[in-house]
């Protein structure tokens, strides 16, 4: 993912959402992994290159355990654009985890990485395997091990698959599928469990900062739905337009009462704008 904010817990790091994503995308919605079986794993791993210690970092990584026995390490990577080097990046993530196992005695378990692609204007058009990422001489191909990424194009999921999600990820997936299919989004009244995390993910994936503004004004634990969120976004958009109108009119020397009529802002709000841009308010 191009942008990360370590102060924000991204949506997929919640166990209910993480398990839901894996169960739907890998197991067609069958509940194979349960939230209580997941343990957070450090997403960072170190490696040495050019004589220096460097670090790679996954978006989210969790251990799947049962009865204190580690079954697998599962990682998620979010992409808004196709990356030709993704197969090599995934090899790096997975290889670092296998390398760590060598220092853990006899403990051995598989590593699985899911790449979630959120692009809406085109399918993933870059390499999906090591063979596709490299220019390999034909005589070498039998000796080069291929490595395919587990790629899922969220905006291109069929609606029936989207309905199989049980967590907040259904709202996220539905948003991208609708935007890709229709160019617009019809919100549902379904309640959102992790409001701030959903809005932060949508903000990062769509680059629409209005989602962040609503998230910043939401309380942790608050429940709402996308209908209410879009109402807030529309109200914020209208307020910004009115503020720009009032600013322009203040600069032109319009009277306070006239600005109130046109901008629909309160006297207090207009005076605050005038103070901010350092102009005198014309009373009449």
Same domain assignment for residues 113 and 33 = yes
Q: What average pLDDT does range 96-107 have in this prediction? A: 85
- Mind listing the pLDDT tens digit for each residue in 256-273? 888 888 888 888 888 898
Mean pLDDT lowest among 7-16, 81-90, 166-175, 219-228: 219-228
135 and 248 fall within a common domain:
no
> Are both 67 and 177 inside the same structural domain?
yes
Instruction: Note the pLDDT tens digit of each residue in 35-48.
Output: 999 999 876 555 44
62 and 127 both lie in a single domain: yes
Q: What percent of the chain has pLDDT over 70?
A: 86
Are 107 and 184 members of one domain? yes
Which of 134-148, 178-192, 203-217 reaches the highest mean pLDDT?
A: 134-148
Q: pLDDT tier at 5 (50, 70, 90 boundaries)?
A: very low
Q: What count of other Cβ atoms lies within 10 Å of the Cβ of residue 248?
A: 12
**pLDDT score for 219:** 61
Q: For residue 6, give the DSSP letter.
A: T
Are residues 25 and 108 both part of a single domain? yes
The answer to whether residue 210 sits within a structural domain is no
Rounded Cα distance between 11 and 19, Å, is: 12
Using a 10 angstrom Cβ sphere, with 0-12 exposed, 13-18 middle and 19 or more buried, the burial of residue 50 is exposed
* Mean pLDDT of the residues in the chain: 85
Instruction: Give the whole-angstrom CA distance, residue 113 versus residue 149.
Output: 8
141 and 21 assigned to the same domain: yes
**Percentages (nearest 5) of helix, strand, coil residues in the chain:** 45, 20, 35
Give the integer Cα–Cα distance in Å for 16 and 150: 21
Contact assessment for residue 80 and residue 42, using Cβ atoms and an 8 Å cutoff: no
- Whether residue 74 contacts residue 62, with contact meaning beta carbons closer than 8 Å, is answered with yes
Quick check: is 6 in a domain?
no
Placement of tokens 């060598």 in the chain:
102
Is residue 51 pLDDT above 60, yes or no?
A: no
pLDDT at 48: 46
Do residues 67 and 138 share a domain? Answer: yes
Q: Are 55 and 232 in contact (CB under 8 A)?
A: no
Domain count, the chain: 2
Helix ranges restricted to H, the chain: 15-27, 86-101, 130-133, 159-163, 169-182, 195-206, 209-216, 226-251, 256-263, 267-277
Sheet holding 111-117, edge to edge: 38-40, 60-66, 69-79, 111-117, 150-153
Domain co-membership, 64 together with 131? yes
Residues 63 and 129 in one domain: yes
Q: Region 4-27: what's the mean pLDDT?
A: 82
The maximal CA–CA distance of the chain, rounded, in angstroms, is: 86
Q: Does residue 64 lie in a domain region?
A: yes
Contact residues for 178 (Cβ-Cβ < 8 A; gap 6+): 184, 185, 186
pLDDT over threshold 50, residue 49: no
Residue 182: give the domain boundaries: 11-191
Q: Same domain, yes or no, for 161 and 256? A: no
Domain boundary among 191, 221, 253: 191
pLDDT score of 19: 97
My answer on whether 47 and 99 are in the same domain is yes
The band of 144, judged by pLDDT with boundaries at 50, 70 and 90, is very high
Buried b / exposed e across 196-217, counting CB within 10 Å, b at 16+?
A: bbbbbbbbbbbeeebbbbbbee
């Amino acid at each position: 993912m191009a942008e990360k904010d370590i102060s924000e817990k991204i949506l997929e790091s919640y166990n209910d959402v993480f398990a839901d994503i894996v169960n739907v995308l890998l197991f067609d919605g069958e509940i194979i992994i349960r939230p209580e079986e997941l343990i957070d794993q450090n997403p960072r791993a170190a490696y040495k290159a050019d004589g220096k210690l460097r670090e790679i970092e996954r978006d989210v990584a969790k251990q799947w355990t049962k009865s204190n026995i580690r079954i697998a390490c599962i990682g998620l990577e979010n992409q808004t654009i196709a990356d030709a080097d993704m197969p090599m990046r995934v090899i790096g993530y997975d290889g670092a985890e296998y390398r760590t196992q060598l220092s853990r005695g006899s403990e051995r378990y598989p590593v699985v990485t899911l790449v979630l692609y959120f692009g809406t204007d085109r399918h993933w058009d870059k390499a999906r395997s090591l063979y596709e990422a490299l220019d390999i001489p034909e005589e070498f191909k039998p000796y080069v091990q291929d490595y395919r990424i587990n790629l899922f194009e969220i905006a291109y999921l069929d609606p029936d698959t989207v309905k199989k999600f049980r967590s907040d990820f259904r709202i996220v997936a539905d948003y991208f599928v609708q935007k890709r299919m229709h160019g617009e989004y019809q919100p549902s009244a379904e309640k959102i469990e992790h409001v701030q995390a959903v809005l932060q993910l949508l903000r990062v994936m769509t680059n629409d900062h209005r989602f962040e503004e609503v998230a910043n004004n939401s309380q942790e634990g608050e429940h709402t739905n996308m209908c209410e969120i879009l109402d807030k976004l529309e109200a914020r958009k209208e307020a910004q337009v009115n503020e720009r109108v009032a600013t322009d009119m203040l600069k032109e020397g319009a009277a306070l009462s006239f600005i109130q009529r046109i901008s629909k802002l309160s006297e207090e709000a207009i005076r605050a704008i005038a103070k901010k841009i350092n102009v005198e308010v014309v009373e009449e």
